[in-house]
Chain A
Amino acid sequence: MAWLPVGSGRLVRKRPKAQVREGLTKMAEQFVGRASEFTDGTRQIVKVGDTEVGVFRHEGNFYAYSNYCLHQGGPACEGLTIAKVEEHLREDKTSMGLYFSEKDMNFVCPWHGYEYDMKSGECISDRKLKLKNYQVVTKGDDVYVVA
């Protein structure tokens, strides 16, 4: 297994071309990494054709999104992963202050701070904006993104 540079000079693990599979729909499966090495809370950036995809493992599940922020094209998947911030209100509408969510996790574009919902790819500031998502498949211990 080789470490190959993607466009920006970052290193990603990439399998030889023979292991990039193509199905009937011409969708290519790009190898991402070993599931056993892909620990929860981490991410990989993979080059798929001319584009980049960020693959996250969160609470045991894989999520894959375009690595191009919908704002100005920043590397949307390469920043912090951080819980959504919530403001809790009492019944009388007074504020209890700010809290990190116990269930909702976001990933953040490092250029300007655009935050995306880990499970949907929606921009939490405007949920009409949504990153292109990709299917992730596992075959044995191998993780692939379908693009």
Chain B
Amino acid sequence: MDLIADRGRRVTVEELNTSKLLAHAAEQARDRKYEDMLIVDCDAHHYENENFNEILPFMENDVLRQLTMSGRAKGRHSIVPAQVGYQDMGGRVTRYPLRMTEKTEPGKLRDVQLGERWMDAMGVDYSCLFPTGMLNVGLHPQKEMEVELCWAYNRWLTEVVLPENHGRFYTQLALPLSDPEASLRQVETFGGRKGVTGFMVTTVRTIPVHDNALMKVYRAIEERGLSLAFHSGPNWGEPVFKGLNRFISVHALGFSFYNILHCTNWVINGMGERFPKLPVIWIESGLAWIPFLMQRLDHEYMMRPSEAPLLKKKPSDYMRDMFYSTQPMEIQDMEALETTFRMMNAETQLMYASDYPHWDFDLPSTIYDLPFLSEKAKHNILGGNAARTFKLAPRNEAQKANLIKYGNYTAG
């Protein structure tokens, strides 16, 4: 296949093979003996838009289903709000333009095969599978379409994808948060299905997560012993970002911005007091925003406690009760990173995430090689914290021994 480089020059590149592309990751996994430690990737993705022909028939409403399936014809409009963006960097990140050239075996879901390739290469035992395009579903102008798309995706994922993966994929299913009643129904319907460890709010949206109408949703999730994730993303259309002229700027700010927005509402409105047993995970915002927000909220709270009367401790203490995914981890100033880890109690609150196959993915070595981490912290962050939270079983005896050694063994 030819990739277009500068001035129209074409560069011939072989077809994509994920195992070959990640050969160096496999070397790292062997060198570091990852097979002895349970590694959980709490944020990996597939391109569900390539499966819409299989997903959309699960929509319940006849008219909306016909509307979206009819719109699948070539040249018709997108059914999920699309973003302007250049994730592939003009083809520099070759797995984007080459993705469709990768060959998979017939008879088994392509997304499952691709997922197992990158998991095996990286030394990952379990991956939490999230969609890609549907991370924008919160921007859909039609509430009922958001509900239907989440419903269809959640059915397809739990009825078709997860059963083919022999338990190595798990998920936190997308919630149509714009409709609290529909969100509750989806929790009640899908919450008990195999591989479902919780639910996920796509945070590229601005509705208040502390709205009274949503309390029954969070309560239902908490009562089932499940978790709640907030997965962020960029949005060039957000009014405050319209002045940015480069994708790097929108991407750098957007992923942190939406989680800062919703985490602020979550903390200041005392959600940690209302749902103390609900594990909450903030995903794909990096880590640098965490000490920033802790300091900002604590500083203001000391002067204005009357505006956050549900709080019984500082905002940062509630933030330390919650979980965070590692990626994209800002490994630029090692002392700043060490301080961040200390401030968030990373040893018990941080969970490794790759975000593969997206352009800024992180390998397990980004955690394993950190010079300031203890062995316990490495085991916890790379998989122990997730195993404890999501009740994931070890895949061999060495992993079991390490989970027990570090207090993370919960699945018998």
Hey, which bits of chain A sit against chain B, CB under 8 A?
7-10, 41, 68, 72-75, 79-83, 100, 108, 110-113, 115
Q: Name the interface size band of chain B.
A: 20 to 34
Chain B residue nearest to A7 in the complex (CB): B23
Chain A residue nearest to B20 in the complex (CB): A8
Known: A75-B21, A82-B11. 7 other contacts (CB 8 A): A9-B20, A9-B23, A73-B363, A79-B94, A80-B92, A100-B7, A113-B92
A112 touches B360 (CB 8 A): yes
B27 touches A80 (CB 8 A): no
- Closest chain-A Cβ to B299's Cβ sits at a distance in Å of 33
Interface pairs A-B: 4 shortest CB-CB: A8-B23, A100-B6, A110-B94, A83-B6
Max count, chain A CB within 10 A of own CB: residue among B17, B21, B92: B92
Ordered by A's residue number, 19 sampled pairs between the chains whose C-beta atoms are within 8 Å are: A7-B23, A8-B20, A8-B24, A8-B26, A9-B20, A72-B363, A73-B27, A75-B21, A75-B24, A80-B11, A80-B13, A80-B91, A108-B89, A108-B92, A110-B21, A110-B93, A112-B361, A113-B93, A113-B359
B5 within 8 A of A: yes
B146 within 8 A of A: no
Max count, chain A CB within 10 A of own CB: residue among B6, B11, B25: B6
B95 within 8 A of A: yes
B265 within 8 A of A: no
B148 within 8 A of A: no
The contact string, 1 if C-beta is below 8 Å from chain A, for chain B 75-113, is: 000000000000001111111000000000000000000
* B residues 7-45 in Cβ contact with A at 8 Å: 7, 9, 11, 13, 17, 19-21, 23-28
B3 within 8 A of A: yes
**B269 to chain A: which residues have CB within 8 Å?**
none
Among A9, A73, A83, A112, the residue within 8 A (CB) of B93 is A112
B365 touches A72 (CB 8 A): yes
**A10 to chain B: which residues have CB within 8 Å?**
20, 23
Chain B residue nearest to A11 in the complex (CB): B14
User: Assuming A9-B19, A68-B24, A112-B93, is B365 touching A81 (CB within 8 A)?
Assistant: no
**B3 to chain A: which residues have CB within 8 Å?**
80
B284 within 8 A of A: no
B6 touches A110 (CB 8 A): no
Hey, which bits of chain B sit against chain A, CB under 8 A?
3, 5-7, 9, 11, 13, 17, 19-21, 23-28, 89-95, 359-363, 365-366
- Closest chain-B Cβ to A111's Cβ sits at a distance in Å of 7
**A82 to chain B: which residues have CB within 8 Å?**
5-6, 11, 90, 92
Q: For the complex, give the distance between the alpha carbons of A74 and B362 in Å.
A: 11
Among A7, A79, A113, A115, the residue within 8 A (CB) of B27 is A7
- Closest chain-B Cβ to A58's Cβ sits at a distance in Å of 13
Q: For the complex, give the distance between the alpha carbons of A115 and B20 in Å.
A: 21
Chain A residue nearest to B16 in the complex (CB): A110
Among A100, A108, A110, the residue within 8 A (CB) of B95 is A110
- Closest chain-A Cβ to B240's Cβ sits at a distance in Å of 23
User: Assuming A80-B3, A113-B359, is B24 touching A74 (CB within 8 A)?
Assistant: yes
Q: For the complex, give the distance between the alpha carbons of A112 and B26 in Å.
A: 17
User: Assuming A72-B365, A73-B363, A100-B7, is B21 touching A80 (CB within 8 A)?
Assistant: no
- Closest chain-B Cβ to A79's Cβ sits at a distance in Å of 6
**A41 to chain B: which residues have CB within 8 Å?**
9
- Closest chain-B Cβ to A130's Cβ sits at a distance in Å of 18
Chain B residue nearest to A71 in the complex (CB): B331
B366 touches A80 (CB 8 A): no
Chain A residue nearest to B7 in the complex (CB): A100
- Closest chain-A Cβ to B34's Cβ sits at a distance in Å of 14
Q: For the complex, give the distance between the alpha carbons of A74 and B361 in Å.
A: 11
Q: For the complex, give the distance between the alpha carbons of A82 and B359 in Å.
A: 18
**B13 to chain A: which residues have CB within 8 Å?**
80
B360 touches A75 (CB 8 A): no
Q: For the complex, give the distance between the alpha carbons of A115 and B23 in Å.
A: 20
Chain B residue nearest to A52 in the complex (CB): B24
Q: For the complex, give the distance between the alpha carbons of A73 and B27 in Å.
A: 10
A72 touches B11 (CB 8 A): no
**B27 to chain A: which residues have CB within 8 Å?**
7, 73
- Closest chain-B Cβ to A18's Cβ sits at a distance in Å of 28
**B95 to chain A: which residues have CB within 8 Å?**
110
**A83 to chain B: which residues have CB within 8 Å?**
5-7
Q: For the complex, give the distance between the alpha carbons of A56 and B330 in Å.
A: 31
Q: For the complex, give the distance between the alpha carbons of A141 and B92 in Å.
A: 32
Q: For the complex, give the distance between the alpha carbons of A7 and B26 in Å.
A: 10
- Closest chain-B Cβ to A116's Cβ sits at a distance in Å of 12
Q: For the complex, give the distance between the alpha carbons of A58 and B399 in Å.
A: 48
**A7 to chain B: which residues have CB within 8 Å?**
23, 27
A110 touches B92 (CB 8 A): yes
Q: For the complex, give the distance between the alpha carbons of A80 and B1 in Å.
A: 12
- Closest chain-B Cβ to A138's Cβ sits at a distance in Å of 24
- Closest chain-B Cβ to A52's Cβ sits at a distance in Å of 8
Chain B residue nearest to A115 in the complex (CB): B92
Chain B residue nearest to A106 in the complex (CB): B92
**A73 to chain B: which residues have CB within 8 Å?**
24-25, 27-28, 363, 365
